[in-house]
Structure 1
Amino acid sequence: MYAIRLGDDGAELRPLEPWHAEEFLAHLDRGRDFINQYVPFGSRATDVAGAREVLQRYADWRAADTASLHGIWLDGTLLGGVLTLNFDAAGGNCEVGCWLEPAATGRGLITRAMRILIDWAVEQRGIHRVEWVAAAGNVKSIAVARRLGMTRDGVRREAQLHHGVRHDLEVWSVLAPEWRAHDDH
């Protein structure tokens, strides 16, 4: 087990595992409407069994080396997390994502956690291209991509159907040489 400090405020990045199902469900219940504005992450986790199923799916993907899930705790409370998706070490590509409950916004938690995750992907796993995909209306997510030094690659028009509405998806990325050239991580 690891716990990586995200600064001096008591925030930590830790693995988010199936045995965290009750805590994960409580966290999602606190932030479900906020989190689900743009992403359906955890929408199927409406009871402990559903929460465990989501976490087990990510554990299985981690074992297959195709994804990973990491929680952000502040003062012992799970408030959000960061993840990898479509992780392809052989091809050197992955996607990253995040979620956070409203009480934790505005503290830089996602940016700090994402710097650790991208550093790991690039430096430890040899990932060349890290991609960030966000609904065009999700200005907070897009702001994090900018803070991380990512470049806007383009827009996938009306690519996501969410809550009966088609959303444009912005695609942002950073390449390993660009990431390494950034001196603020």
Structure 2
Amino acid sequence: MFAIPLSETLPAELRPLEPHHAEEFLAHMDRGRVSVDRFISFASRSTDLDSARATLQRYADRAAADTARIYGIWLDGTLVGGVMFPHFDTTHGIAEIGVWAEPAGEGLGLISAGVRHLIEYALVERGMPIVEWLSSPENTRSRAVAERAGMSLDGVLRSRYPHNGARQNKEVWSLLAEEWLASEQRAEFLASRERLRAARVS
């Protein structure tokens, strides 16, 4: 298992979120359910140990098929949020990125740091031409993360997604590989990653 440090000032790590984390994942969902369930569908499907394990197993199966991935963010040893590829389409070269966090994981820059790792993986390591970001227009935190990553708002898909008994609009944001490669965001990401690597070695 790998663990990637996310902060130069906080004990925070990005790690694969796997079925054996089901109990920890459920406790995390329970702590953040009120805010997470407004926008993230797996919160409403992960309400006991079996359903939490089933959620993570679905992602494990899709990771094995190279069609999705999910990662947790641990702060001082506690799971407080995560980042994911809900869809990883190598045929069409499109990777969708999503995020979530309980209150203890908000406002610390950890979600944005995790997102930059996923962008680098999809656009550089895997050579995908584009990453996408779908979020509710009401989710201002999600919008802010997309903007900080350098994404552009492409438009709004009206009544796109059924969730909690109603159809939700979805904003579509995107970032092209050539934009990321030339961006200040990537330069900052690479510099921070090198500092964190050097700190671990020393």
With normalisation by structure 2, the TM-score equals: 0.88
Tell me, yes or no, if the aligned pair for 1:150 and 1:174 is still in contact at 8 Å: yes
Residue in 2 that maps onto 1:56? 57
Question: Size of the alignment, in residue pairs?
Answer: 185
The sequence identity of aligned pairs, in percent, is 54
Q: Does 1:114 align with 2:129?
A: no
Residue in 1 that maps onto 2:25? 24
Show the 5 A alignment for 1:124-143: 124-143=125-144
Which stretch of the first structure deviates more once superposed, 65-74 or 83-92?
Answer: 83-92
Q: CA separation in 2, counterparts of 1:18 and 1:108?
A: 26
Moved over 3 A (4+): none
Q: Does 1:2 align with 2:19?
A: no
Tell me, yes or no, if the aligned pair for 2:42 and 2:55 is still in contact at 8 Å: no
Shift of residue 61 of structure 1?
Answer: 0.2
Q: Does 1:45 align with 2:52?
A: no
Offset from partner CA, 1:16-60 (integer Å, 9 cap, x none): 000000000000010011101122223211111111100000000
Residue in 2 that maps onto 1:14? 15
User: What's the C-alpha RMSD, in Å, of the aligned pairs?
Assistant: 1.1
Which structure shows the bigger proportion of residues in helix conformation?
2
Unaligned runs of 5+ in 1: none
Show the 5 A alignment for 1:146-165: 146-165=147-166
Q: CA separation in 1, counterparts of 2:162 and 2:59?
A: 23
Offset from partner CA, 1:95-127 (integer Å, 9 cap, x none): 010110012211111100000111011111111
Residue in 2 that maps onto 1:101? 102
Q: CA separation in 2, counterparts of 1:183 and 1:2?
A: 27
Specify the SS of the correspondent of 1:42.
Answer: helix
